[in-house]
Structure 1
Amino acid sequence: MLPPSVLAHLNRTLDVPLHLQVYEGLREAILEGTLKPSHRLPSTRAMSQHLGVSRNTVLLAFEQLLLEGYLESRVGDGTYVTHTLPDTSIQKPEVRLEQQGIQPQLSRRAQKLLQVQVTQYLSQPEYRAFRSGMPALKDFPFEEWRRLHARHWKNPPLQLLAYGDPRGYLPLREAISEYLNASRGVRCTPDQVLITSGSQQGLELASRLLLDEGDSLWMEDPGYLGARAAFQSSGLQVCPIPLDQEGMQVQYGEMHHPQARMAYVTPSHQYPLGITLSLTRRLELLKWARNSGAWILEDDYNSEYRYEGRPLNALQGLDQDGRVIYVGTFSKVLLPAVRMGYLVLPEHLIDLFIHARSLVDRMPPGVSQAVLAEFMQNGGFERHIRRMRSLYADRQAFFLQLAQQHFPDWLPFQPSPAGMHLVSHLGEGFSDRTLVEEARKAGVTVRALSPSYLQDAKQGLLFGYAGFPEDESILAARDLGRAFRVQK
């Protein structure tokens, strides 16, 4: 006889083939122990009649179970549940280990990783105002991008379909090098450019390759949560360095954390406060790196969006000693879904990073790189940046008007000459985390400032204005004003 579970799996209204349903029913009965080891099954003819299916259906199910080792065939005697599986391996546990209070064994690295906060948005990934770090998705040049993709996929060169260079597609590295030399003051050749899967992979590679577990690293306080997560998951000691109007206080770092082997900075537009690292501090930082043999990790995450004058030159262009690793990304200037970034490496680090890149991710997607390379070569990239720079400047001005209208007294904002978000510092008695939750209930996304601090946390809110058209911003500001008035 067959257990009821086999019949229970049969449902002719499903798209799942009947032989797979028979297979699943028998497999489950074996795993649950309903069908014991060495139990003799009915013949395929008898089972097909019992189930009301064709004999071929049962034969296909038996073949799969025989291949996977659940059944064994005895010549001239029939088909049996295999006798080689011990009872303990085919018993289906009624209670999960976690429900018994037993934790699965994890590596120390995994345990550290679970304790690290990567972003405030993992639990709310939706696209809505006023989420920070979000470009204007609806204003992307989709038609031009579609044409490029169609042309490259129509008859792609075989080199784009095979395993490619771990450094990335050469024409893309050439385009990035040319762009950085002209617009960011970065001094590099295409050989120094390494394509990554976004800036996060670049941060992860640099921290693991250049520092050992337990080493110390300077980080701006407040600073970027994603970078802190990469460092902490690598077992590094993150040393918070306070900021003033000139940016990271290098002398504070030298005095309090002289053993540090790396400094992570966002010098062109500090995240999240928007401060620019002064020339004096840049030279101090480079001198410290030279004298101590330390590294500088320069994250230039959205330096293109400066609304007054031309974008500031990168710190990397001042480096004479090969101590700066430059990190760039296309997530903010194009789309987060593009998932492409890059590192600019000192020449003596190139081979090391190529080797590591090939181990963790082998290579970036070939055709996607070719599309981006042509987009940069034909001027589409710079045209898009110019359009977005103008659009974001207008959206910042419009947001400031909305803020003045809907929450004028207790959420102060100052215009910023760059970036894609604004910060409002909260007065005494307010909790930014509480306000973030109230905003979420009102259907609005804002980010709390306090989690960006490692010490002496200040309360504040980050409002991303760049990614949202006026009609969406109007509705969000109105709903947020109502929610916040209740809190006030």
Structure 2
Amino acid sequence: MTGKHLRFQFESITVSTQDPTALFRQLENQIREAIWQERLRAGERLPSTRHLAKQLGIARNTVINAYEQLALEGFIVTLRGSGTRVTDNFPPPSKDSTQESDASSISIKQADFSERYQALANHEIDISQGGQGTARPFRANIPNYFEFPRAQWAQLMSKKLRQKPDSWMERVHACGYEPLRSAISSYLGVSRGVSTTAEQVIVTAGAQQAIELLAKLLINPGDIVCFEDPGYTHAAMVFELAGAKIVTIPVDEDGLDVDELQKTISEAKLLYVTPANHFPLCTTLSQSRRQALLKWAKETDTIILEDDYNGEYRYRGRPLPTLHTMASDDRVIYIGSFSKLLFPALRLGYMVVPQQLIEPLGTIRWLLDRHSPALEQIVLTDFINHGHFSRHIRRMRSLYSERQKALVNAAKEHLADILELPPLDGGLHLIGWLNAGVEQKQLITAAASVDIELLPTSQFNFKTPQRGGVIFGYAPYNLEQIVSSVKKLRTAYWQSKNEC
């Protein structure tokens, strides 16, 4: 292996005679740090002492001394015919060396962070959710990507890659690939009754970016933004970062309590709501409350942000009209996401906005990251226009309904003495309401001991909930997985109770 094939760029190493530390120590320390940080990985080859000395402009003996020390400590090994490589079992950093390194090298400290970011310390944010491997029961908020028509998607992508590069390698409009905007507009008109032009559809990197763009455009420090409680706390955090004051409104079996909203809030900049399928309770905002909410918004001059993140998945009864459809003016902004409908890694979503917001939102998007990946937008356009998207949604709707029934029946048979798991009209998860005497933390810990994931509903409460609950995702799990996992959960919980 030659130097140019190495993963780690050794030219990034800097040694200086102005530093009081000996040159070979400087070199040795930087290589050690690169190994600990996995920029230099086990088995990777280091350049020869002669080559590295020439590259860094230092004496070969300096490199030899550094290599010898690292070999002595077990970080590297030199084998005849194979060169010098990183060992498979190099020692981990000691606590003392880590603290010493932290103290000497960190110049930007937490005190330098903005007050808005420091306010997020009160929230639980798990950024390790990606890269967790195959979904395990009952991880929530993900669709059944195992059943995604990968062959059709791959065929569409392969066909596009064989075309002229300028058809997919050029930049697209900041508001999105125009044929995709048109395809989304047509689909929404048929499936959700949302009347919009292609120009009003703005493609985003998932629903979360749509929320961020709107916060940057619309929110000034101190503006009031209303949220459901419980509700999508991760959206609230975005508005908090923009300086908004979050005011919460309770939710019951009919969705957002509009009566309470009318009594307590006479002025607000924006209200975020999930009317088709409330998150996380999966209730539906009633028709009468939708009408009352629109009336309140008009009287208070409040913008409504309608997040229809998985409104496609309704298993009983006809879906109610969207707020966007019912509104007599343009104060409702409609948001959707493909990652909840197709597969999580597809970071594409959209929002339908009034005409006067198109250019300002496009400007902000351009400044942030220009646009979402063009190739994925182009392939998704073909996926929709060829009918694959509609067929997949219809198939998943039937499959998810079957899996929800299986989970409800299994819980009724095996978990009735632990929790109540009522069926819901739609969504990708159910809520297990804990019986008296069942501790949420103990149940979640017992579940984890048998490789089962449960989310506490309290994670999405702004105030202390009256009753504990856990979230059971079911979309990606087959019937056998659902039943066997419910049985394992029961055994693990009662075993943990007996050990207390």
> Offset of 1:201 from its aligned partner?
0.5
Give the partner amino acid of 1:61: L
| Residues 95-134 of structure 1 mapped to structure 2, 5 A cutoff | 95-97=101-103, 103=110, 105-118=112-125, 122=129, 125-126=132-133, 127-134=135-142
Greater shift, 109-118 or 322-331, is seen at 109-118
Whole-Å separation in 2 of the counterparts to 1:19 and 1:430: 52
Equivalent in 291, 312, 321 of residue 283 of structure 1 = 291
CA separation of 1:224 and 1:95: change in aligned 2, threshold 3 A: same
2:270 aligns with 262
| Residues 345-384 of structure 1 mapped to structure 2, 5 A cutoff | 345-384=353-392
Is the 8 Å Cα contact of residues 420 and 435 (structure 2) preserved in structure 1? no
Whole-Å separation in 1 of the counterparts to 2:406 and 2:483: 9
Aligned alpha-carbon RMSD (Å): 3.1
Q: Structure 1, residues 166-220: CA drift from partner, whole Å, max 9, x if none? A: 0101111111000101110112100000000001111111123212122211111
CA separation of 1:186 and 1:26: change in aligned 2, threshold 3 A: closer
Q: Structure 1, residues 411-438: CA drift from partner, whole Å, max 9, x if none? A: 1122222111111211333332332222
Whole-Å separation in 2 of the counterparts to 1:414 and 1:108: 42
CA separation of 1:264 and 1:19: change in aligned 2, threshold 3 A: closer
> Offset of 1:395 from its aligned partner?
0.7
Whole-Å separation in 2 of the counterparts to 1:414 and 1:230: 32
| Residues 286-301 of structure 1 mapped to structure 2, 5 A cutoff | 286-301=294-309
Equivalent in 197, 215, 219 of residue 207 of structure 1 = 215
> Offset of 1:279 from its aligned partner?
1.6
| Residues 41-440 of structure 1 mapped to structure 2, 5 A cutoff | 58-62=53-57, 94-97=100-103, 103=110, 105-118=112-125, 122=129, 125-126=132-133, 127-156=135-164, 158-440=166-448
Task: Determine helix, strand or coil for the equivalent of 1:342.
Answer: strand
Relative to the length of structure 1, the TM-score reads: 0.81
Task: Determine helix, strand or coil for the equivalent of 2:383.
Answer: helix
Whole-Å separation in 2 of the counterparts to 1:297 and 1:431: 35
Q: Which runs of 5+ in 2 are unaligned?
A: 25-46, 59-97
> Offset of 1:334 from its aligned partner?
0.2
Is the 8 Å Cα contact of residues 120 and 447 (structure 1) preserved in structure 2? no
Task: Determine helix, strand or coil for the equivalent of 2:441.
Answer: helix
Whole-Å separation in 2 of the counterparts to 1:123 and 1:378: 30
Greater shift, 169-178 or 404-413, is seen at 404-413
2:488 aligns with 479
Give the partner amino acid of 1:137: Y
CA separation of 1:119 and 1:287: change in aligned 2, threshold 3 A: farther
Whole-Å separation in 2 of the counterparts to 1:121 and 1:479: 25
Give the partner amino acid of 2:471: L
2:80 aligns with none
> Offset of 1:98 from its aligned partner?
8.7
Give the partner amino acid of 1:476: S
CA separation of 1:402 and 1:29: change in aligned 2, threshold 3 A: farther
Whole-Å separation in 1 of the counterparts to 2:277 and 2:104: 45
Name the % identity.
36
Q: Structure 1, residues 79-135: CA drift from partner, whole Å, max 9, x if none? A: xxxxxxxxxxxxx99442399997452222332344433459749945211011111
> Offset of 1:13 from its aligned partner?
11
Give the partner amino acid of 1:60: Q
Give the partner amino acid of 2:340: K
CA separation of 1:123 and 1:165: change in aligned 2, threshold 3 A: closer
2:15 aligns with 27
CA separation of 1:156 and 1:433: change in aligned 2, threshold 3 A: farther
1:86 aligns with none
Whole-Å separation in 2 of the counterparts to 1:17 and 1:459: 53
Whole-Å separation in 2 of the counterparts to 1:289 and 1:471: 47
Is the 8 Å Cα contact of residues 161 and 366 (structure 1) preserved in structure 2? yes
Is the 8 Å Cα contact of residues 119 and 225 (structure 1) preserved in structure 2? no
Give the partner amino acid of 1:365: P
Is the 8 Å Cα contact of residues 327 and 342 (structure 1) preserved in structure 2? yes
> Offset of 1:439 from its aligned partner?
1.3
Q: Structure 1, residues 196-253: CA drift from partner, whole Å, max 9, x if none? A: 0001111111123212122211111111232222222222222111122321112212
CA separation of 1:17 and 1:444: change in aligned 2, threshold 3 A: closer
Give the partner amino acid of 2:22: T
Is the 8 Å Cα contact of residues 221 and 244 (structure 2) preserved in structure 1? yes
CA separation of 1:56 and 1:456: change in aligned 2, threshold 3 A: closer
Task: Determine helix, strand or coil for the equivalent of 1:338.
Answer: coil
Greater shift, 239-248 or 52-61, is seen at 52-61
Task: Determine helix, strand or coil for the equivalent of 1:128.
Answer: coil
> Offset of 1:272 from its aligned partner?
1.2
Q: Which runs of 5+ in 1 are unaligned?
A: 1-11, 37-51, 64-91
Whole-Å separation in 1 of the counterparts to 2:334 and 2:99: 51
> Offset of 1:56 from its aligned partner?
6.2
Is the 8 Å Cα contact of residues 18 and 57 (structure 1) preserved in structure 2? no
Equivalent in 441, 456, 461 of residue 453 of structure 1 = 461
> Offset of 1:448 from its aligned partner?
0.5
Q: Who wins on radius of gyration, i.e. which is larger?
A: 1
Give the partner amino acid of 2:407: F
CA separation of 1:403 and 1:32: change in aligned 2, threshold 3 A: farther
Is the 8 Å Cα contact of residues 16 and 23 (structure 2) preserved in structure 1? no
> Offset of 1:54 from its aligned partner?
8.4
> Offset of 1:441 from its aligned partner?
2.0
CA separation of 1:178 and 1:429: change in aligned 2, threshold 3 A: same
